[in-house]
Amino acid sequence: EVQLVESGGGLVHPGGSLRLSCAASGFAFTSFGMNWVRQAPGKGLEWISYIDSPSQTIYYSDSVKGRFTTSRDNAKNSLFLQMNNLRDEDTAVYYCARDNWEISVGTFDYWGQGTPVTVSS
């Protein structure tokens, strides 16, 4: 069974940093790209980052580019999101999602339960 479990969310002041993790199990992690998608309270879904399996291709949305860094450790089946210079508008639930390239890169076939991030003074 595919499982994705995020952790690391919490309350942080504006300008602060946070590192999210996503632990993957139940599938060959090294065979799939991974994504981060977030959802602000009461709002819709926003894709923010993609990383391919060898970490050679990494994409970011304009809203986080230069502040967030996505990485992965294939030996530990883990995905990470380093978030720096956090802003109020980064408050959201952050989901990791598997990218099913066999269907189409950019198709998110499994999602974690999400970890909440609140940016507030």
Partner 1 sequence: DFQLTQSPSSLSASVGDRVTITCRASQSINRYLNWYQQKPGKAPKLLIYVGTGLQSGVPSRFIGSGSGTDFTLTISSLQPEDFATYYCQQSYGTPWTFGQGTKVEIK
Residues that bind partner 1 (CB under 8 A): 37, 44-47, 50, 59, 61-62, 95, 100, 103-114
Q: Which is nearer to partner 1, 14 or 108 (CB)?
A: 108
Q: Closest approach of Cβ 48 to partner 1, in Å? A: 9
Which pairing describes strands 68-73 and 78-83: parallel, antiparallel, or unpaired? antiparallel
Cα-based distances in Å from 61 to 1, 21, 68, 88:
30, 19, 10, 17
Q: Which is nearer to partner 1, 16 or 89 (CB)?
A: 89
Q: Closest approach of Cβ 113 to partner 1, in Å? A: 6
Calpha distance 19→36 (Å, rounded): 13
Q: Closest approach of Cβ 11 to partner 1, in Å? A: 19
Q: Closest approach of Cβ 56 to partner 1, in Å? A: 15
Tokens of 112: 């974690």
Q: Which is nearer to partner 1, 42 or 121 (CB)?
A: 42
Q: Which is nearer to partner 1, 2 or 11 (CB)?
A: 2
Q: Which residues contact 104 (CB under 8 A, 6 or more apart)?
A: none
Diameter of the chain measured on Cα atoms: 43
Residue among 14, 12, 13, 18 at smallest CA distance from 36: 18
